[in-house]
């Protein structure tokens, strides 16, 4: 039973067959020129769900996500002043991290910034020029020559023989009717002010697309397993990433391309340019809690559009409450104790069925119906007082396991059973007496329950 994901490249669901023992995954991250909106977070929460599910399947995952801190919009907003750029991009990256943390998104293993990788981008562009895939123009810019890559259009399936090439594209973003050579390096313009770097072609700055080719190559190598992004990035951004990377390395680049559909508002894509966006805090201020918001973002299949409105948020709220009420009933009966044997947990019917649903392209609708059917069945058993303590500790462990993927059932506040509290006291004593073996044993016990214990100077931190 393997995980199947819909590959935007082959337009089919494909088995995930890792290239090596670790899954290497890249996703296109935030452009830090404003606070991220909840539409952006639909994509980021999806990347996180995918990564958490891969971990659930016991895969070791290396996840890299770039931060775009240089592009047309950023330069405009900070009026060509590098100091403004540094302050602004730092501020919005912090805002991204804060919201991501609230939404229980794990930060990827590497989160590289574009402006820290100018040398890598220049090297890649030099390689492309040397191999005849890019050319310099009189003003000191460099363009990728799309005619030099016969598979250009392989992702977006654009028949570009039908479209006329008119001019080169200098903008970072453009639509499907503009299939032209695109900028890898842009020569310095008056409006760029002091935002520029030296290069073999003179002062300037990189185009948008080259950063993801350079950073994925640096951190994941020329070939890796999964590339994700929002569906709006499929063309031109991902098409251009493929062209640059394949032409520079002669390797196939990402094997699986997974795209997350849009979050809509009143039927239109939520976006900054349409000024129809809400931030996470806007939604929290409307009275919804973060678990409900995360649940709303993940509860439909990632390949379907979803609409942000009160009806949908309220129904997410009630659905989640049903799961949480059930969790609390099981918590009471089990006294918060859990079964620790991972094999036993993974073989419970609940987990087996959850896995079948999720292995089908992360089918969250199916996975949720598995959970709700289970709740219905077990609630009857609970009402009749037919559930034993032994069954309840296994059920609690299975629910915790599922919540390691969904991240919505338990609140950020950790519920500790009486036994847990006693063990924490015992561990404190063991540490005081330098009985490190016992202290580690207890830490491992909690780790298996999904609770991390860190020792800091200020005392222990339970996560
Ligand atoms: P940006 O900060 O504009 O670079 O976008 C960051 C990520 O959010 C990208 O993967 C986009 O595809 C994604 N994104 C932007 N708007 C939406 C939306 N309305 N729904 C889902 N994902 C989006
Ligand atoms: Zn990208």
Instruction: Reply yes or no on whether the pLDDT at 69 is more than 70.
Output: yes
**pLDDT cut 70: percent of the chain above it:** 94
CA distance 231 to 270: 13
> Which sign, positive or negative, has the C-alpha torsion 246, 248, 249, 254?
negative
- Give the chain's domains with CATH numbers: 4-260 (3.40.50.620), 280-406 (1.10.730.10), 418-462 (no CATH)
Question: Which of 32, 43, 64 to mutate to test ligand 1, by most ligand atoms within 8 A of the CB atom?
Answer: 43
State which ligand 1 atom lies nearest to the alpha carbon of 261.
21
Instruction: Reply yes or no on whether the pLDDT at 77 is more than 80.
Output: yes
CA distance 139 to 263: 40
State which ligand 1 atom lies nearest to the alpha carbon of 28.
10
* Contact present, 218 and 62 (Cβ < 8 Å): no
Q: How high is the pLDDT of residue 116?
A: 98
Left (φ > 0), alpha (ψ -120 to 50) or beta: where does 336 sit? Answer: left
444 CA from centroid of ligand 1 (Å): 38
Instruction: Reply yes or no on whether the pLDDT at 185 is more than 70.
Output: yes
262 CA from centroid of ligand 1 (Å): 8
Paired tokens of 132: 């005849």
| DSSP string covering 220-249 | H-SEEEEEEEEGGGIIIIIHHHHHHHHHHH
230 CA from centroid of ligand 1 (Å): 5
Mean pLDDT of the chain: 93
CA distance 128 to 135: 8
* Contact present, 129 and 142 (Cβ < 8 Å): yes
State which ligand 1 atom lies nearest to the alpha carbon of 40.
8
Q: How high is the pLDDT of residue 23?
A: 98
The gap from C-alpha 372 to its chain's centroid, in whole angstroms, comes to 26
CA distance 165 to 155: 19
- Verify whether ligand 1 is closer than 6 Å to residue 262 (CB atom): yes
Digit-coded pLDDT (tens) for 203-253: 999 999 999 999 999 999 999 999 999 999 999 999 999 999 999 999 999
Burial of 32 (0-12, 13-18, 19+ CB in 10 A): buried
Q: How high is the pLDDT of residue 461?
A: 58
Digit-coded pLDDT (tens) for 319-352: 999 999 999 999 999 999 999 999 999 999 999 9
Nearest CA to ligand 1 atom 23: 40
137 CA from centroid of ligand 2 (Å): 25
Digit-coded pLDDT (tens) for 448-457: 776 777 776 5
Q: How high is the pLDDT of residue 444?
A: 84
- Verify whether ligand 1 is closer than 6 Å to residue 303 (CB atom): no
* Contact present, 47 and 61 (Cβ < 8 Å): no
State which ligand 1 atom lies nearest to the alpha carbon of 232.
12
Nearest CA to ligand 1 atom 20: 262
Digit-coded pLDDT (tens) for 282-298: 999 999 999 999 999 99
- Verify whether ligand 1 is closer than 6 Å to residue 42 (CB atom): yes
Nearest CA to ligand 1 atom 11: 230
242 CA from centroid of ligand 2 (Å): 10
Q: Which residue has the higher pLDDT, 399 or 273?
A: 399
> Which sign, positive or negative, has the C-alpha torsion 229, 232, 236, 237?
negative
54 CA from centroid of ligand 1 (Å): 22
User: Which among 174, 164, 168 has a CA at the least distance from the CA of 138?
Assistant: 168
Digit-coded pLDDT (tens) for 261-274: 999 999 999 998 89
CA distance 425 to 431: 10
Q: How high is the pLDDT of residue 163?
A: 63
- Verify whether ligand 1 is closer than 6 Å to residue 28 (CB atom): yes
12 CA from centroid of ligand 2 (Å): 22
Q: Which residue has the higher pLDDT, 412 or 287?
A: 287
Q: Which of the listed ranges 159-163, 172-176, 373-377 does the model predict with the highest average pLDDT?
A: 373-377
Instruction: Reply yes or no on whether the pLDDT at 396 is more than 70.
Output: yes
The DSSP secondary-structure symbol of 251 reads S
Question: What's this model's pTM, rounded to 2 decimal places?
Answer: 0.90
Question: How far is residue 74 from each of residues 31, 33, 184, 192, 259, measured CA to CA in Å?
Answer: 8, 6, 17, 10, 25
State which ligand 1 atom lies nearest to the alpha carbon of 269.
19
State which ligand 1 atom lies nearest to the alpha carbon of 32.
2
Q: How high is the pLDDT of residue 166?
A: 60
Instruction: Reply yes or no on whether the pLDDT at 462 is more than 80.
Output: no
- Strand (E) or helix (H) holding 7: strand 4-7
Q: How high is the pLDDT of residue 432?
A: 87
Instruction: Reply yes or no on whether the pLDDT at 458 is more than 70.
Output: no
Question: Which of 25, 40, 97 to mutate to test ligand 1, by most ligand atoms within 8 A of the CB atom?
Answer: 40
């Amino acid at each position: 039973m393997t995980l199947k994901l819909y590959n935007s490249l082959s337009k089919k669901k494909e088995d995930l067959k890792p290239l090596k023992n670790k899954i290497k995954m890249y996703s296109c991250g935030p452009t830090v020129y404003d606070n991220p909106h909840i539409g952006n977070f639909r994509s980021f929460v999806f990347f996180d769900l995918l990564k958490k599910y891969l971990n659930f399947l016991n895969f070791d995952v290396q996840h890299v996500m770039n931060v775009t801190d240089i592009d047309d919009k950023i330069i405009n907003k900070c009026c060509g002043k590098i100091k403004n750029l540094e302050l602004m991009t730092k501020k919005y990256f912090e805002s991204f991290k804060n919201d991501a943390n609230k939404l229980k998104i794990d930060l990827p293993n590497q989160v590289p910034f574009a402006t820290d990788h100018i040398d890598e981008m220049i090297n890649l562009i030099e390689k492309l020029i040397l191999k005849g895939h890019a050319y310099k123009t009189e003003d000191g810019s460099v363009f990728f020559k799309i005619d030099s890559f016969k598979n250009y259009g392989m992702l977006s399936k654009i028949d570009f023989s039908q479209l006329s090439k008119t001019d080169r594209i200098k903008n970072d973003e453009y639509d499907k009717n503009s299939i032209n050579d695109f900028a890898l390096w842009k020569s310095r313009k008056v409006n760029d002010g002091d935002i520029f770097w030296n290069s073999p072609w003179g002062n300037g700055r990189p185009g948008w697309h080259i950063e993801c080719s350079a950073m994925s190559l640096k951190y994941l190598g020329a070939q890796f397993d999964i590339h994700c992004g929002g569906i709006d990035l499929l063309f031109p951004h991902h098409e251009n990433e493929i062209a640059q990377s394949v032409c520079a390395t002669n390797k196939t680049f990402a094997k699986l391309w997974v795209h997350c559909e849009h979050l809509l508002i009143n039927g239109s894509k939520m976006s900054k340019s349409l000024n129809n966006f809400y931030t996470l805090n806007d939604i929290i201020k409307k009275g919804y809690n973060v678990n409900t918001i995360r649940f709303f973002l993940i509860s439909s299949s990632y390949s379907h559009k979803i609409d942000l409105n009160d009806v949908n948020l309220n129904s997410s709220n009630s659905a989640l409450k049903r799961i949480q009420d059930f969790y609390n009933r099981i918590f009471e009966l089990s006294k918060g104790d859990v079964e620790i044997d991972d094999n036993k947990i993974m073989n419970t019917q609940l987990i087996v069925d959850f896995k079948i649903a999720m292995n089908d392209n992360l089918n969250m609708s199916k996975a949720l119906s598995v959970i709700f059917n289970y709740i219905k069945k077990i609630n009857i058993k609970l009402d009749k007082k037919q559930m034993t303590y032994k069954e309840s500790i296994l059920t609690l462990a299975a629910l915790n396991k599922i919540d390691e993927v969904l991240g919505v059932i338990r609140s950020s506040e950790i519920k500790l059973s009486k036994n847990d509290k006693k063990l924490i006291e015992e561990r404190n004593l063991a540490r005081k007496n330098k009985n490190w073996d016992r202290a580690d044993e207890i830490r491992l016990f909690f780790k298996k329950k999904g609770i991390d214990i860190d020792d800091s100077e200020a005392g222990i931190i339970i996560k």
